Amino acid sequence: MGLFSRERPEPVQLGDVTLHCEICKGTEFWTRDAQLNTAVASFFSLEWTNPTASCFICSQCGYIHWFLPLD
Ligand SMILES: [Zn+2]
Protein backbone atom coordinates (compact mmCIF):
# COMPACT_ATOMS: atom_id res chain seq x y z
CA MET A 1 0.00 0.00 0.00
CA GLY A 2 2.41 2.67 -1.22
CA LEU A 3 1.63 6.31 -0.82
CA PHE A 4 1.51 6.89 -4.56
CA SER A 5 0.49 3.46 -5.81
CA ARG A 6 -2.06 3.08 -8.59
CA GLU A 7 -1.94 6.77 -9.32
CA ARG A 8 -0.54 8.96 -12.04
CA PRO A 9 0.71 12.49 -11.48
CA GLU A 10 -1.34 15.10 -13.29
CA PRO A 11 -1.11 18.77 -14.26
CA VAL A 12 -2.62 21.11 -11.68
CA GLN A 13 -4.75 24.10 -12.57
CA LEU A 14 -5.06 26.88 -9.99
CA GLY A 15 -7.71 29.21 -11.30
CA ASP A 16 -6.27 30.52 -14.56
CA VAL A 17 -2.74 29.40 -13.75
CA THR A 18 -1.11 26.06 -14.49
CA LEU A 19 1.11 25.10 -11.60
CA HIS A 20 4.82 24.76 -12.38
CA CYS A 21 7.25 23.32 -9.87
CA GLU A 22 9.29 26.03 -8.13
CA ILE A 23 12.40 23.89 -8.30
CA CYS A 24 12.46 21.91 -11.55
CA LYS A 25 9.62 23.57 -13.50
CA GLY A 26 7.83 20.26 -13.74
CA THR A 27 4.11 20.29 -14.50
CA GLU A 28 2.85 16.99 -13.11
CA PHE A 29 1.93 16.57 -9.48
CA TRP A 30 0.37 14.17 -7.07
CA THR A 31 -2.40 15.77 -5.04
CA ARG A 32 -2.96 15.31 -1.32
CA ASP A 33 -5.04 17.06 1.29
CA ALA A 34 -3.08 17.52 4.50
CA GLN A 35 -4.62 18.18 7.87
CA LEU A 36 -2.49 20.85 9.51
CA ASN A 37 -1.29 19.85 12.94
CA THR A 38 -1.83 22.08 15.95
CA ALA A 39 1.66 23.56 15.94
CA VAL A 40 1.43 24.62 12.32
CA ALA A 41 -2.12 25.87 12.72
CA SER A 42 -1.08 27.92 15.73
CA PHE A 43 1.82 29.41 13.82
CA PHE A 44 -0.62 30.69 11.22
CA SER A 45 -3.20 31.65 13.87
CA LEU A 46 -5.66 29.20 12.34
CA GLU A 47 -6.38 27.10 15.43
CA TRP A 48 -10.11 27.63 15.24
CA THR A 49 -10.55 26.62 11.63
CA ASN A 50 -9.11 23.09 11.77
CA PRO A 51 -7.57 23.82 8.38
CA THR A 52 -6.78 21.41 5.61
CA ALA A 53 -4.06 22.37 3.17
CA SER A 54 -3.95 21.25 -0.45
CA CYS A 55 -0.60 19.67 -1.28
CA PHE A 56 0.78 19.20 -4.78
CA ILE A 57 3.86 17.03 -4.87
CA CYS A 58 6.12 17.39 -7.89
CA SER A 59 6.51 14.06 -9.68
CA GLN A 60 10.00 14.97 -10.86
CA CYS A 61 11.77 16.31 -7.77
CA GLY A 62 9.32 15.66 -4.92
CA TYR A 63 9.03 19.28 -3.90
CA ILE A 64 5.76 19.88 -2.03
CA HIS A 65 3.74 22.91 -2.98
CA TRP A 66 1.03 23.48 -0.43
CA PHE A 67 -1.76 25.93 -0.21
CA LEU A 68 -3.99 27.10 2.59
CA PRO A 69 -7.65 27.55 1.81
CA LEU A 70 -8.42 31.24 1.40
CA ASP A 71 -12.02 32.24 1.86
ZN1 LIG B 1 9.93 19.65 -9.21
Residue 8 maps to a domain: no
In a domain, 2, yes or no: no
Residue 68 alpha carbon to ligand 1 centre in Å? 20
Q: What is the pTM of this model?
A: 0.73
Summary mean pLDDT of the chain: 84
Spacing, Cα 39 to ligand 1 middle (Å): 27
In this structure, is residue 6 part of a structural domain?
A: no
Provide the domain limits for residue 19. Answer: 13-67
Domain membership of residue 1 (yes or no) is: no
- 4 occurs within a structural domain: no
Give the pLDDT confidence score for residue 25 in this predicted structure: 97
CATH of the domain at 26: 2.20.25
pLDDT the model gives residue 2 = 59
> Residue 43: what pLDDT?
74
* pLDDT < 50: residue spans in the chain: 1
Tally of domains within the chain: 1
**Cα 35 to averaged position of ligand 1 atoms, centre (Å):** 22
C-alpha pair distances (Å), 44 with each of 10, 26, 34, 37: 29, 28, 15, 11
Task: Give the pLDDT of residue 17.
Answer: 93
Q: Is residue 5 included in any domain, yes or no?
A: no
Ligand 1: centre distance to CA 53 (Å): 19
Question: Helix/strand/coil (H, E, C) string of 26-53?
Answer: CCCEEEEEEECCHHHHHHCCCHHHCCEE
User: In this predicted structure, what is the pLDDT of residue 46?
Assistant: 65
